[in-house]
Structures are given as C-alpha cells and as structure tokens.
Amino acid sequence: MALAHGYALPFVTQKVVGDYASDNAAATARAIVSGSTKEAAGNCLDARAINLQMRVPQRTDTNLLFNSSMTGATGSVLPTNWASGSVSGLTVTISSASTVAGFRAIEWTVSGTAATDGDLYLACEPMQSGSVVAQIPNEYIGTMYCARVSGTISSGMVLQTLTQNFVDGAVQETKTKDLAAVTGQTFVRIEPNSIKTDIDLENRVNLRLYQSIASGDVVNFTIRVAAPQIEAGLVASPFISTVSGAVSEVRGRPSVLVVPQLTRAGVVYPQLPVVSGADFTFTRATTA
C-alpha cells in the first residue's frame, strides 16, 4: 500500500543510518584510544592494528657463517671454509662430521707437549680475506655448542668472537668466553659478549676456539663442536631444531611481511609471517 504524504519514512531511515555511522565512528575512535592505552600497559595485541594495515619489520641476518653444518669434514680434512693453527710438538686431528644429539658435529683432538710458543685455534672461517664481511659500525655476536669428549680442557681455552683486517687477517679486537661449563659430553652453548666493529681495519668478523700456548705446555683434549653461529646484533638467536632433533639452519636476509587479519570480534591480530626474498634460504643439516 502506498504511504500517505507526510509520513517521514525517508527521514527516519536517514536518521537511523546517520546514527549508525556516528556511533561506528565514535566506537572506532574509542577502540584506537583504548588500544593505545592497553598497548602502553603491555597488551600489545588488543586493538593495536585498527589503524595499521600492514607492517614490514626490518630485514635481519640469522647466521653469517658459510658452513655451520660441518660440510666437507672427512676426518683428515677440516670442514669447508674452516681453518686451524697449532705449534710444533702438538698433534692435531679432526674427525669426520657426524650427527650427535641432533647436531652435525666434529671432534677436535689435540695432544702432545708444545715445543714453541704460539696459538692453538680452530676457526669457523679463514683467518684472512675469506672471512665474513663486517659492516662498520655494527655489533656482532657469536655462539658455539661445545662438549668435552675426553682429556682436560685448560682454563686458557676460550671461544672468541673477533674482528680482523681484510688483508692479512690480523686480529683487531676479541670478545671471549671460557669453557669452564664444558665438563662432559652434553653440549653446552658458549656465548661471548657481542663485539663492535668501529674502525676501518675491523672489516672481518670470525669465530674460533683459541688457546695461547707456551713452550712446555702439555695438551690433551678432545672437544666436540657444533652449531657455530655469527649474527649481527647484541643477543644471539636460538639455533633452530626440528621436532625430531634434526638441526636446521636459517641464513641470508629474509624479508618478513606481517599482514593484519580482522577477527569476528573486530580486533585485528597479525597473521603468520609471509617470508619473501630470493636471497633467503632455509636448509636442514640432517634429514628427519
């Protein structure tokens, strides 16, 4: 039936729509304010992304070492890209790579009586131009899992994160952590403090087990090493392990894009990250 002239249905409809729009705008404003307040109080998820449609975190490096899975270690040959040093009178052997407690590992055995002074070390990169490029200025942190298989580890044995000169490999600065916690065959993660590259000569960064040797020192140990890692930053990230114990490695510069998702409750939460970038790889050191 047609409505008689004078009934204000169109006006009522406009008023309802107008009230809805006004209420919706006010509710959105309140939610943003509430979200900001809650975020300041520590609740970062509630209503945080109402006015953020997407977010791209800064790209990060995870592991700058070229060979953290002991590739190339055959028993008489060091892992590819690794280097070692010793002194006269000491016998040094390297085992072939094997899987121990889910890690790809090698065993470094040194025995004998030193005939001269010098340096004993096992480095994850060559000690000159082939080492990991360091940006200036920046901070780097290194870690390694170690276990004592046999013998005695001297109090002078340390894990070093060090900066070097590109041309001759001369050590510029070191940060060290002793192996006092390495008392048995259970892996212990050793983590020296971060090191800062702040001069032009500090254009390489390296990681090595190191001990200063004096003539007459008696050395006898076997140290199992695994999962070496160098990354930019102040705090080391975990070495990634699969549920079955197979060790995995993330290396490169991932681009991570987090896209918000609107829930039915009207609150926006981030979705799972979408990883992109041709220079990003994910590899597993062992099958599982």
Write down the domain spans for the chain: 1-48, 83-241
Letter for the amino acid at 259? V
CA–CA separation, 230 and 61 (whole Å): 9
pLDDT, mean of residues 75-94: 94
> For residue 282, what pLDDT is reported?
47
Q: Average pLDDT over the chain, rounded to whole? A: 76
User: Which has the higher per-residue pLDDT, 236 or 55?
Assistant: 236
Which span out of 63-67, 237-241, 266-270 was modeled with the highest average pLDDT? 63-67
CA-closest candidate to residue 161, choices 179, 143, 147, 135: 143
Locate tokens 């970062």: which residue?
44
User: Which has the higher per-residue pLDDT, 195 or 242?
Assistant: 195
pLDDT over 90 (residue 63): no
The whole-model pTM stands at 0.65
Task: Yes or no: say if 235 and 192 are a contact pair by the CB < 8 Å rule.
Answer: no
pLDDT digits (tens, 9 = 90+) for 197-246: 887 778 888 999 999 999 999 999 999 999 999 988 888 887 755 444 44
User: Which has the higher per-residue pLDDT, 56 or 74?
Assistant: 74
Letter for the amino acid at 20? Y
CA–CA separation, 264 and 266 (whole Å): 5
CATH code of 83-241, in short, is 2.60.120
Give 114's pLDDT tier (boundaries 50, 70, 90): very high
